[in-house]
Chains A and B, each alone.
Chain A
Amino acid sequence: MRRDRLTFAMMVGVPVMQLLLFGFAINADPRGLPVAVMSADQSEFSRSFVAALENSEYFRIANYPETEVEADRLLRVGAVQFVINIPEDFSRELMRGARPSLLVEVDATDPAAASNALATLQVLGNRALNHDLDGPLQDLRATPPPFELVVHRRYNEEGITQYNIVPGLMGVVLTMTMVIMTSLAVTRETERGTMESLLATPVTPLEVMIGKIVPYILVGYVQVALILIAAKFIFGVPMEGSLLLLSLVLIVFVAANLAVGFTFSTLAGNQLQAMQMAFFFFLPSLLLSGFMFPFRGMPLWAQWLGEVFPLTHFLRVVRGILLKGNGVADIAAETGYMALFLIVASTLAMLRYRRTLD
């Protein structure tokens, strides 16, 4: 073990990493969720309500969209978790004691992410305006609250966890198998001695990489097909968007993972090390991507770290397409990140791939 430093590092490194990630980054009670407020009513009451939202720490006002369409887009691309609609005659109705309704739209693709915030919203509704309701309006302070909170869960009305988990699993399964498969691919050649023959032939590094990656893209598609069939017929996951679009994005995602695996295989000295590296990549992918824990629940540094992993972006895309019916424009940015990752990882792999035995 003393001679195999990497194994030793993994044995110490993995627990330390888990400790740090679980300890600091993971938080099942996300705060500071981005909210878009569409206020058609510029009154004392609506301002107090918005201020109360921010003071609760569960919400962060991220945007004041002008139109319904814009608000809808923000929710669809995942820029905000909530859209709060304050109707035009909110304050007038309120003062009349007619209990006007306040529409809250929630992105409920991940039911866990929003549940605490929603609970807070209810409490807030009861108390937020108490300060403003003084003098002749004091009567309105009593329960039930002076206005009605209408919560509209979008994309996953019933809050079914499977709808969120099953499409996400697609990304997790692909990350796991693709990275491990390719990380073993080149290492195996080195270990068996076939690398020497391969290097003596005129093939270029890029050709070797493409040769190692392409078969696994096909394997990836088979896995995806299996998961989609199970999602549809066993779990009844809705499929709002285009499956064709999903399969196109898949190429980028799968290739990005394969490039990582290939890079590992050029770094690792043997198959055991390659496996360990793959695991070292997989674990934070799983924990920081928003698959297991709400992404927005993590501290900012962990979110930035999470943004590095292609799985994070793929989860948004796959949930977007299947649950929200996202189109090309909605997922372009996330796909762009994955493509960037692919380019960086392949460049690294090409630089690391040795054409000689030095």
Chain B
Amino acid sequence: MNGELVIDVEGMSKSFGPHKVVNNFGIQVPKGCIYGFLGPNGSGKTTTIRLLCGLLTPDAGSGTCLGYDVIHETDLIKRQVGYMTQRFSLYDDLSIEENLTFVGRMYGMADRAAKVTDTLERLGLVARRKQLAGTLSGGWKQRLALASCIMHAPKLLLLDEPTAGVDPQARRDFWDQIHILADQGLTILVSTHYMDEAERCHQIAYIAYGELLVHGPVGEIVAGSGIATWSVEGKDQISLASELRHLTGVDRVTAFGRSLHVSGIDAAALETAIAPYQIRPGLTWTRGETSLEDVFIHLMSQATDNIQ
């Protein structure tokens, strides 16, 4: 990772009718970085990705992507970007190999046959090359989609929820693949709902209601949130949870298996609040670790408050 910025945009806005989907959005993504895009459904992740690869024209904003202007040089950007759509968007009635050959043609690649074979090998698709894309399972479809967007050797990958609906093994393989690509110097922007995936990113950005709420490396975000968490185990969790929820200083109570996670933005206030319960018999309190999910849920509720 060096200082070179692959994506550098600011002030991007996009509305569909009365809805402002992306509002004054700006990010800087350095080369070779795996940048995670997180946010609730409808927060504008897909729209932002489409703005970056020129599929949508922003209403306002400026910046560069791979050194090209995001407004006027979308044709040049398209050549060097691999975009993997949220919904599988290759041809069901073509085989894996035919799909890749088609994509190769679209990019006007020379020595297409060699590139297709090479890509098939890279992603372990050789054995299934003759299978129709429509008959593939979710994991293989996703692998094919990735193959089709890295074949033209792009410098930037935009992956829109690539692992939605894919089993854990396939997800893990997919992320291993992404790390290999990043090692080779590709910059990857990936949107996801999975926290474990977010934690595999070098940097993440959290978007809600079209606005960038927080960004940076995962550790910094968690530490920066200042949220303290305690974990409590004991009987009768449901009534305990409702009791705890009403305390000042407790922002959130979440059930995790047999334990409850109790968290608050102010560590001191939280401790004061739970002090009477810590001496209650039958309850075991331990200081828990604040998870990324806690941070995001907190951010979400704040953002909702802002909207209201």
Seen from chain A, the residues whose Cβ lies within 8 Å of a Cβ on chain B are 192-203, 356-358
Contact = CB atoms under 8 A, between A and B. Distances in A.
A202 B103 CA distance: 10
A346 B90 CA distance: 27
B199 interface: no
Contacts of A201: 78, 103, 106-107
Given A192-B92, A202-B78, A202-B106, A197 B54 contact: no
Interface of B: 50, 53-57, 75, 78-79, 81, 83, 85, 87-92, 103, 106-108, 148
Given A193-B85, A197-B89, A356 B56 contact: yes
Contacts of B53: 200
Contact of A357 (B50, B78, B90): B50
A194 B89 contact: yes
A195 B83 CA distance: 12
A52 to B, nearest CB: 67
Question: 6 tightest A-B contacts by CB?
Answer: A201-B106, A200-B83, A197-B89, A193-B89, A193-B87, A202-B78
Contacts of B88: 193
A200 B55 contact: yes
Candidate in A201, A203, A356 with the most chain B CB atoms within 10 angstroms: A201
A196 B55 contact: yes
Contact of B75 (A192, A195, A202): A202
B92 A197 contact: no
Contact of B85 (A197, A203, A358): A197
A199 B106 contact: no
5 contacts: A201-B107, A202-B107, A202-B108, A356-B56, A357-B50
A41 B106 CA distance: 71
B54 A356 contact: yes
Name the prevailing secondary structure of the B interface residues: loop
Contact of A203 (B54, B55, B81, B106): B106
Given A194-B90, A202-B79, A358-B56, 17 more contacts: A192-B89, A192-B91, A193-B85, A195-B89, A196-B87, A196-B89, A197-B85, A197-B89, A197-B148, A200-B53, A200-B83, A201-B78, A201-B103, A201-B106, A202-B106, A356-B57, A357-B50
Contacts of B148: 197
A240 to B, nearest CB: 44
Given A193-B89, A194-B90, A199 B107 contact: no
Contacts of A357: 50, 55-56
A203 B88 CA distance: 20
A278 to B, nearest CB: 22
A202 B56 CA distance: 14
A191 B306 CA distance: 37
A357 B58 CA distance: 11
A195 B56 CA distance: 13
Contacts of B83: 197, 200
A196 B78 contact: no
Nearest to A208: B106
Nearest to B80: A202
Contacts of A193: 85, 87-89
B224 to A, nearest CB: 35
A307 B54 CA distance: 41
B91 A194 contact: yes
A194 B87 CA distance: 9
Candidate in B55, B56, B79, B83 with the most chain A CB atoms within 10 angstroms: B55
Contact of A196 (B81, B85, B91): B85
Contact of B78 (A194, A195, A200, A358): A200
Contacts of A198: 106
Given A202-B78, A203-B106, A357-B50, A197 B57 contact: no
